[in-house]
Chain A
């Protein structure tokens, strides 16, 4: 190695890069070239300029390197693409199957991706998200208790006053269903929260008008959403104006944007907490009514605070509270972004989504994509015979294997690109439909975000690779001499793998089908199972906001029943399907029987007959025995069991103490007052007129046209100032199954697509086999084979694999179904029939697909087929 005297060397990094790009067979001539000019530059212009020159020229050289390479590879790829398109034209059917299957798969994936992405996006828009939390509470002694999203007042107040790492604390108190009134405009509105004004500095709730820092500082102030403001004030400026909520005047101090869809907290309006500050018991630890949001200071240690919260009662409670905290209640911080998917507590302001469902849908997306990829692999390898000559020819002319792989990979890339394009268009086309089913506010615009483009790009790469790799390896491995000589490498090569793939494909299809059948059956089981009460023909009039009835409820009921179309009426605090209030009930004079949590229903004597409930022992409330009013209890059998009494009769000898002491006068048989997801819990009924919130009318639903005017008129007669509202019990009760309903629809749709894509592939394979066996079938027929025999011959082969798929799929489906059904307290049994139904469905469709080709082949004239080839 020579060494220059002054030994100024070119930049090391630049040399390294140069060596990478122009290796020159490793002899370093390019390095030499650069250095020669470099050294000359040093003489002429100095070191600095020389270095700059080196770098400049290196970069410029890269440019010509890249362009030079591209021109030539593009030329090559142009050829690949041209050949690909020629092939597509030649085999239109197969191309159609491939593109169609993949496009559907891509559309499904996109749909599922957007669904999952939406569910995961909940509340991710809040500023300082990482330091916003909700304080929740959980009972450590009761593993079945999910905990509550709402807590008592003291933790929030103490956090605000004594914990410097907490920047802001805000309480929310939900009061739903209210009447809003301004002038002639009177409507029921839904979601109202009493709130501290700090809520606006914790959560990101953009104000259109008013000052978020002071909006709720005074009592009787309200912040409305944009749409409520528009509804009541139209074009006027609502700021400073007055409107009535439940007959009380409020000043509008702010207008906020409508809540976005992906937040767990959707409020129509916020009312100042100041209004109830003196009246609400903020010092009650165990009155769990307040949503408590906190924002920590930057860099505050949430973990440390969590550890303090766990012992909060111990640290901050008074003696009485500590004594009450027998069951060991702990508080903890919930990250705001986690609430929608990971909270699932009692009293959530919005139903949460189970993350398992997201996983389920993710899995379905992958399944469907796999099914589509399998089509591609199978059809390409099956047709390999067709292209063996081409491969042989290319090899003889001098194409090496790498180039052939590249060629076949580019074919799969082209197919994939086309499929993804069509898939996106397809999804865009069905977006409104999808939006309706899933209730996700998706817009076409969201399809063209950077993220989605990356997903699509990923899909293209993955599909092209997964689907294209195996066929290209198989095809490029053909031996040129054999293929050209005509010793044909039959399509049988790789047929083992093809069969396995078909089995996988149909296993996935059967899994999806079984899943759908199970969900559908469970749904219809829940809809049709006897609930133990009448839910038909029940028209419910809710008494909302300021509307109250008390002792005059009888008068109102009588007025409603004046019409022949109204068969009866009953007043109650709740109707089935609604969440009731719970309270501890102790048995009087019996220290040994443990106090039980009961669900309390306040009903009038007609509740029994109107809802068709069954009395097991004792008697129900009676209009003739006014002494029972507000004093006596009727309980259900579940309560009898909970207290540990031997029989309903024994219960009649007991006295309960809840708000006050009272006899148990009757026992009702259990009925499903909530959906069948839930077990029947112990209940107690009281006859308390001032707690009545609903009037249920049993009406002649066939003659609603005649009945409704009467009901409406009666309402106006008693409550002239309040809007009339009603719903039908069967509809509202079924709302409890909305989540399952949605799942079943989505699952059903995807399953259909999955089977459809599988069958596309099967159709392709079957037609290929029939084509390959044309001659064989011809000879068989000449020798006396019957048409059914031929059809059997062709079908048998495929059916064997579909049946094997069943055997693989059943156990998996069984365990998956069992797992899902666990979330229902009342569930159907998993019968063999479910599997038979889904297997029959899939086998039937597959059979239909294959037999079309089989019949065509079987009926063909042997003369033509023997002449074939």
Chain B
């Protein structure tokens, strides 16, 4: 099982492809959710996803605008992709047959 935050971040990493490093990931999830995410809120799930083997990471070359520090680029592993696919499947079947309209008034 992945938590909601982990799910969002996993998805963001997959979408960003080779641009998937924490700054971009954070921007992505903030865009998607429309809420403020602190860096810490991104690092912790990223760490856990790596530990559980759903994500892989490598260091990219340092750039000047980062004060000479490297970026850590993340990418989903086979496990991670499988997990994403599963999440999607579960989501879809769970939502199956729910008319959009019923939410309109909420």
Contact = CB atoms under 8 A, between A and B. Distances in A.
B38 A61 contact: yes
Interface stretch (B9-17, B63-71, B82-90, B94-102): B63-71
Nearest to A31: B69
Contacts of A32: 62, 66-67, 69-71
A474 interface: no
A115 to B, nearest CB: 49
A31 B44 contact: no
B20 to A, nearest CB: 13
Contacts of A719: none
A30 B69 CA distance: 9
Interface string B11-48: 00000000001110010000000001011110111000
B59 A4 contact: no
Contacts of B64: 2-4
Contacts of B70: 27-29, 32
B67 A64 contact: no
Given A30-B22, A36-B23, A37-B23, A65 B44 contact: yes
A57 B62 CA distance: 22
Interface in A625-654: none
A4 B65 contact: yes
A33 B68 contact: no
A24 interface: yes
A37 B30 CA distance: 14
A397 interface: no
A438 to B, nearest CB: 54
A1 interface: yes
A852 interface: no
User: Which residue among B59, B62, B66, B67 has the maximum number of chain A CB atoms within 10 Å of its CB?
Assistant: B67
Contact of A4 (B26, B67, B72): B67
A22 interface: yes
B68 A65 contact: no
Contacts of A63: 38, 40
A30 B43 contact: yes
Interface residues of B, number: 24
A362 interface: no
A2 B67 CA distance: 7
Given A1-B68, A27-B59, A29-B72, A68 B40 contact: yes
B7 to A, nearest CB: 15
Interface string B49-69: 000000000010011111111
B65 A36 contact: yes
A28 B44 contact: no
A35 B39 contact: no
B72 A27 contact: yes
A21 B45 CA distance: 15
A617 to B, nearest CB: 98
A865 interface: no
B56 to A, nearest CB: 14
A21 B39 CA distance: 12
Nearest to B68: A2
A9 interface: yes
A34 B66 CA distance: 8
Contacts of B22: 29-30, 33
A494 interface: no
A22 B40 contact: yes
Nearest to A29: B72
A40 B39 CA distance: 16
B58 to A, nearest CB: 11
A306 interface: no
Contact of B66 (A9, A22, A24, A35): A35
A140 to B, nearest CB: 71
Contacts of B36: 60
Contacts of B72: 24, 27, 29
Given A27-B72, A31-B69, A32-B67, A2 B62 contact: yes
A65 B47 CA distance: 11
A57 B38 contact: yes
A37 B63 CA distance: 13
Given A37-B23, A60-B38, A65-B44, A29 B68 contact: no
B8 to A, nearest CB: 14
A50 to B, nearest CB: 13
A577 interface: no
A10 interface: yes
A29 B59 contact: yes
B62 A34 contact: no
A39 interface: yes
A68 B41 CA distance: 8
B45 to A, nearest CB: 8
A164 to B, nearest CB: 64
A62 interface: yes
A9 B67 contact: yes
Interface in A488-536: none
Nearest to A38: B67
B21 A33 contact: yes
B44 A64 contact: yes
A65 B45 CA distance: 10
Contacts of B62: 2, 32
Interface string A1-32: 11110000110000000000110100111111
Contacts of A33: 21-23, 26, 39, 66, 71
B69 A61 contact: no
A296 B15 CA distance: 79
Interface string A38-71: 0110000000000000000100111111001100
Contacts of B71: 29, 32-33
Contact of A61 (B43, B65, B68): B43
Residue from the set A3, A21, A30 with the largest chain B CB neighbour count within 10 Å: A30
Contacts of A35: 65-67, 69
Contacts of A21: 40
A1 B40 CA distance: 26
B25 to A, nearest CB: 10
A57 to B, nearest CB: 6
Nearest to B47: A68
B67 A30 contact: no
A28 B26 CA distance: 17
B36 to A, nearest CB: 8
B72 to A, nearest CB: 4
Most chain A Cβ neighbours within 10 Å, of B22, B40, B59: B40
Contact of A65 (B26, B43, B67, B69): B43
Given A30-B39, A31-B69, A65-B40, 13 more contacts: A3-B68, A4-B64, A4-B67, A22-B39, A28-B70, A29-B69, A32-B62, A33-B71, A57-B38, A60-B41, A61-B38, A61-B39, A65-B44
- 3 closest residue pairs by CB, A with B: A61-B40, A32-B69, A68-B44
Interface of A: 1-4, 9-10, 21-22, 24, 27-37, 39-40, 57, 60-65, 68-69
14 contacts: A1-B68, A2-B68, A3-B64, A27-B59, A29-B69, A30-B39, A31-B67, A35-B69, A57-B38, A60-B36, A60-B39, A61-B40, A63-B38, A64-B40
Interface of B: 21-23, 26, 36, 38-41, 43-45, 59, 62-72
